[in-house]
Amino acid sequence: GRKAIIDAFSKAGAIVLEPIVNIEIAAPDKFMGDLASDLSGKRGQVTGTDNAGSELTTIKGLAPLSELSDYQTRLKSVTGGQGSYSIDFSHYAPVPPHTQAQLVSKHKQPVEEEQ
């Protein structure tokens, strides 16, 4: 049952994967530094910027989907409602070890409780 799966998972040295998304953030130039820092703070990375001759600049990057659940609110706060973003799936990547440990402890249930 469940105990066998937990034992196998522990012995196999399995890792947890998380979805990574491409993100494009469009906002006025004056917010670019704050937005790039904010993305980095969400375990994301900036992969490029694009300014098509307008007052808006687009930041392109990668970030774990789990870090973006409240991003619309955060973007509105940083840009005063002047920014927009879009995401699409990129790939799966291993969850950092400390995050994996938190997930395991959060979902760990003593085997006795399930019987």
Contact 88, 24 (CB under 8 A): no
Query: pLDDT tens digit string along 19-65?
Result: 999 999 999 999 999 999 999 999 999 999 998 777 889 999 999 99
Confidence category of residue 108, pLDDT binned at 50, 70, 90: low
Per-residue CA distances from 13 to 53, 98, 112 (Å): 50, 15, 23
Confidence category of residue 107, pLDDT binned at 50, 70, 90: low
pLDDT number for residue 15: 80
Query: pLDDT tens digit string along 3-23?
Result: 777 777 677 777 889 999 999
**Whole-prediction pTM value?**
0.75
Q: What residue ranges do the domains of the chain occupy? A: 15-110
- For the domain made up of 15-110, the CATH class stated in words is alpha beta
